Structure 1
């Protein structure tokens, strides 16, 4: 490719907001650096949030192209797979053989493709152009993924992986250790083809996860490991929630609570969180969710947390339902702490904005991510708060209230979180994305 020609990149996110958001941020960042971009969007999406977010993205960036990819009906395999987002991943993988003719019709011709990891193996051999993959989790969890097919027996309830601090077995999602589960089988299948990619991008930065990044490079199975994070948010054409209430609050006085786009707390646990917020006396901004898939989320806020609670705490906080512009909330001066499930997008946003985190992992990679948060000095993690999605014990309101007060009052933690923010800022200033990705495509 001529050095004077702008590269044309196809980006293919798979399923769920946790995958979609970093792909769209990457596309917007590439676009801002002069690259042409086409986003492959699967139809139908699992959640309404995905559909709405995509519509708004293309309204915001009319010069970024959209290639709609209609999926074949789902064919159930012998693998265990009951999760609607994993089912979507499986469905995408079973449909990708239909994609190459659509890609070959794009103009100008593609320079490279950036493919979501869960569908990498199914698509890689079909494309006659350079293929990158984008890892949407932490480097620490990706280290675990790359070691999954040859994990040694646990030693003292810990998994020993060369060159990184041992990972407790309790931090590994149970489906990952079940060879009959889609999650495990999909990871092993896609790790096997990593060496055939042009490069592996990961939404992290070296000073956040120095040990894990060096361990991945030492493995020698990756041609190029490209830390491209924290991927910056883009300015959207519309906003989901106005924040006049936050504007009225004192600096660093409000706790923001969100468990992400895939986690719905049990009714009992939601009552305890509500009771803890009221008992703690902390100002709060709480995003609630009633079901894993938002299309099934029919309850209103007052039905979820109780009308009486809303009335009693009217001056203390706000409760909202649905998708919010989290980075806009976290970036507000009034926010002084973040109770988070530690989905990786949430971690990188907190890191980029310097917001202290109280880690409360619920499933998937989140306990491993919580370790990253704690080791980086970005937050604290109460390990006894187990997997909510796996039937963990009910955490009482008094216990939660104590942690909320400690989070909002911890000046030392606020200072170290601001140090992480400065490191994230320097990582972005180094222009890793431009230097490592666009230049490598031009080679």
Structure 2
């Protein structure tokens, strides 16, 4: 199979190391890749990016397009997936299916990457592909292979230790609480729901990747040392598993140009925020692939209304980044938008969350605690009121609380649970956290530490310099 066309917008500097990135799918995974690629591009490094086709959503396609427009020197390697019979995995999460399709097509990466020009120096892969990509890169191509981990380091410690935990469990591999050495004990209720079932597609992927971690040449972590000191130290010290590869903390990373050239004119979220008093707005967003039930959406609306605070709500009613065509008035009920006119703004459009969280009008972030959101809240100095929905969100919430970024409502409903969180309870908690100066002071301190981490001489600055030096030494 001949490699597809390599797309380039100019000659690269001879002698610079050539690094190929292999991202996965889902904006929560892609955004850290785009940000790290943007950061690395300023270090005299030649970069190619494997673009998996077809992309899952319009948002993904737009962000890839924005990346290659903003950084025209980056090469693009198109990678077409083999067909996958989804009927073999009834009820599987669409992203787990996408990852499985990537993993089953991974053997095609060997000849594809071998044909890259100039010759590659190293590969950086998404963690979801680790167990498939590492053998190809190291055994077939004889190159170094690093893993970019998009979630928290706390979640990485769980992923690394989980195979050991299963090996020591009873013969049926029944999952209960997991005590990760040097980090913390995770209750069964905190774990990603899929891990409760050893036969779940995600569990099989999770375990396979975790078993392959020690063969990687290093990990690039979407965090900074002051945010997760215990988990970082436990991995570096070999407490989680012996001989864990080097870890490089590289966050916080700045965004590239917004994918859809975020509109800032009259009526846009940013223009609306410009008109609001300092720290007066509750920002509500549950990520790019989280959707809650209609009944729960209306309870959130009731809570925002009774809180009496201004709010910016990025509302999503569909899953897996899919386009949402439902009218807001049909979702929120009669009269809500009219009653909230001037006090609240509800949108289904993509917003530049990093810019929102750095806006002085924002005083609280009601979030699912996806890790990108946690880091962005830390950088913006905005307290986070965590309402985990599924997957790694509860694990991230433990790291968020211990890192001083906000408050986790541990008893609020989890995806698949029937309990509705009432509007009254939501409104009261919003008022409580908005008025909590202790929480605000902790987050302000974390913001200072985030800025120090990437400043010259800071921990993330040094990690990036060390990683680039390692690339250039190969």
How far has the Cα of 1:174 moved from its partner? 2.2
> 2:99 matched to which residue of 1?
89
Tell me by how many angstroms 1:315 deviates. 1.1
Equivalent positions of 1:58-77 (< 5 A) are: 58-76=68-86
Give the Cα–Cα distance (whole angstroms) in 2 for the partners of residues 236 and 361 of structure 1: 26
Contact 1:80 1:180 in 2 (8 A): no
Of 94, 119, 133, the match for 1:123: 133
Alignment correspondent of 1:239? 262
Following the alignment from structure 2 to structure 1, what is the Cα–Cα distance between the partners of residues 281 and 54?
37
In structure 1, distance between residues paired with 2:71 and 2:434: 38
**1:75-154 residue pairs with structure 2 within 5 A?**
75-76=85-86, 82-127=92-137, 128=141, 129-151=143-165
> What residue is the counterpart of 1:319 in the other structure?
346
Tell me whether 1:171 sits opposite 2:190 in the alignment.
yes
**1:356-435 equivalences in 2 (<5 Å):** 356-387=383-414, 389-429=415-455, 430=458, 431-435=461-465
Matched, 1:38 2:48: yes
Deviates more, 1:55-64 or 1:377-386: 55-64
Match of 1:207?
226
Structure-1 separation of matches of 2:395 and 2:90? 23
Deviations 1:167-202 (A, max 9, x none): 122101221132101111111111222222111111
Secondary structure, counterpart of 1:126 in structure 2:
helix
Which moved further from structure 2: 264-273 or 138-147?
138-147
Instruction: Encode CA deviations 1:264-291: one digit per residue, 9 max, x unaligned.
Output: 1100000000111111111000001111
Classify 1:159/1:197 alpha carbon distance in 2 versus 1 (closer, same or farther; 3 Å). Answer: closer
1:235 partner SS: coil
Checking the alignment, whether the CA contact within 8 Å between 1:355 and 1:414 is kept in structure 2 is yes
Match of 2:38 in 1: 28
Write the mapping of 1:237-386 to structure 2, written as runs, cut at 5 A.
Answer: 238-239=261-262, 242=268, 243-386=270-413
Distance 2:263 2:81 in 1: 29
- Residues 150 and 392 of structure 1: CA distance in aligned 2, closer, same or farther (over 3 Å): farther
Q: CA deviation at 1:97?
A: 1.5
Contact kept? 2:63, 2:258, Cα under 8 Å: no
Displacement after TM superposition at 1:434 (Å): 2.8
SS in 1 for 2:41: helix
The alpha carbon displacement at 1:8 in A equals 1.5
Return 5+ residue gaps in structure 1 as ranges: none
* Aligned CA-pair RMSD: 2.1
Q: CA deviation at 1:377?
A: 1.4
SS, match of residue 380 in structure 1: strand
Length, aligned pairs only: 439
Q: For 2:179 and 2:89, how far apart are their aligned partners in 1?
A: 27
Give the distance between the partners of 2:61 and 2:432, measured in 1 at CA.
38
Q: Which runs of 5+ in 2 are unaligned?
A: 1-12, 171-175
Name which of 209, 213, 229 aligns with 2:251.
Answer: 229
For the residue of structure 1 that corresponds to 2:283, the secondary structure is: strand
Question: In 2, Cα distance between the equivalents of 1:115 and 1:240?
Answer: 32
Deviation at 1:347, TM superposition (A): 0.7
Secondary structure of residue in 1 paired with 2:355: helix
Distance 1:215 1:419 in 2: 23
CA–CA distance in 1 between the matches of 2:120 and 2:14? 15
SS at match of 1:244: helix
What is the CA–CA distance in structure 2 between the aligned matches of 1:148 and 1:392, rounded to whole Å?
28
**Conserved in 2, the CA contact under 8 Å of 1:253 and 1:283?**
yes
Normalising to structure 2: TM-score of the pair? 0.88
When structure 1 is superposed on structure 2, of 283-292 and 195-204 the one drifting more is 195-204
Is the Cα contact below 8 Å between 1:121 and 1:189 reproduced in 2? yes
TM-score (norm 1): 0.94
- State how far apart, in whole Å, the 2-side matches of 1:9 and 1:292 are: 33
Cα distance between partner residues in 1 of 2:208 and 2:101? 15
* Contact residue 70 and residue 256 of structure 2 kept, 8 A: no
Pairwise CA distance, 1:142: 1.1
**CA shift for structure 1 position 80:** 6.7
Secondary structure of the equivalent of 1:166?
Answer: strand
Aligned to 2:468: 438
Q: 2:66 aligns with which of 38, 52, 56?
A: 56
Cα separation, partners in 2 of 1:436 and 1:392, compared to 1, 3 Å: farther
Distance 1:80 1:148 in 2: 25
